[in-house]
Amino acid sequence: MDLQNKVAIVTGSSRGIGKAIAIAFATAGAKVVVAARSESPGRVPGTIHETVQIIREAGGEALAIPCNIADESHIESLVATTKQTFGQVDVLVNNAGVSVATPLINTETRHWDLLMRVNLRGAFLSCKYVLPHMIQRQSGSIINITAGNPEMSATPSQSVGVSIAYSATKYGLNALTVGLAEEVRRHGIAVNGLNPGIIKSEGAIAVAPEDPKEAAAYWNSSHPSLPEVVCESALFLATQTAETFSGRLVSREDYGIGWP
């Protein structure tokens, strides 16, 4: 799973799953663009500059680009800067996402709209602006960090941060993944969805209950893993083509099962 001479954009890579994937890709030899809104420390730990520093201190090459995934001008600039700096885009990881943990009846309309803009529209925009470069090179891999599978239940689980609004965006992302894979197959581009399972990321920790007993029940009910568990699957998908593996929605827990 060598990514030498490859250029990867990883959205939402200031912390959590995105950060782990960015570091793993750099370790595998890729030049990594670390894209997220977090430029300075805030309520939730992690910044794009900290991720880049880790990569550079390990001998890798990375570029931090501030980016609001819901802003089309930001996405256009992100891809243009990547192309100008590194000359190509080989891998896109659509990882940036937000969630709310409220029942539908209590979900504010502005929160519903935010989830749609970030989780679904953001992935659409990233694909829209990256694909012309991949099509020109007749190669590339797009990985959408999603949840569930095409038959996933409309009833959300009681896992960390999962709601009907969040599930709706992931339904849409799954459809985008499978449909886009067919649309760009003739160009040699792989498009796959990766379900990481429940991850104990900085964001999940930030919304956990403060009471120790409630927090223990909160985590025990969801059986979380650390972000690094997704890296092997992400590396595998990053090296695929339309001919080898595309249009699939896979779980990192199933890694090694059914792979070609």
Q: At what angle do helices 72-86 and 122-137 cross, to 10 degrees?
A: 30
Angle at 109 between CA 44 and CA 217, to 5 degrees: 45
Interatomic CA distance for residues 158 and 223, integer angstroms: 11
Interatomic CA distance for residues 49 and 66, integer angstroms: 9
Q: For residue 29, give Cα distances in angstroms to 5, 24, 159, 252.
A: 7, 9, 35, 22
Tokens 């779980």 belong to 251
Quickly list DSSP for 37-87.
S--S--SS---HHHHHHHHHHTT-EEEEEE--TT-HHHHHHHHHHHHHHHS
Q: Which of these is catalytic: 129, 166, 171, 218?
A: 166
Interatomic CA distance for residues 20 and 24, integer angstroms: 6
Interatomic CA distance for residues 100 and 84, integer angstroms: 36
**Is 129 part of the annotated catalytic residue set?**
no
Q: Which residues are annotated as catalytic?
A: 166
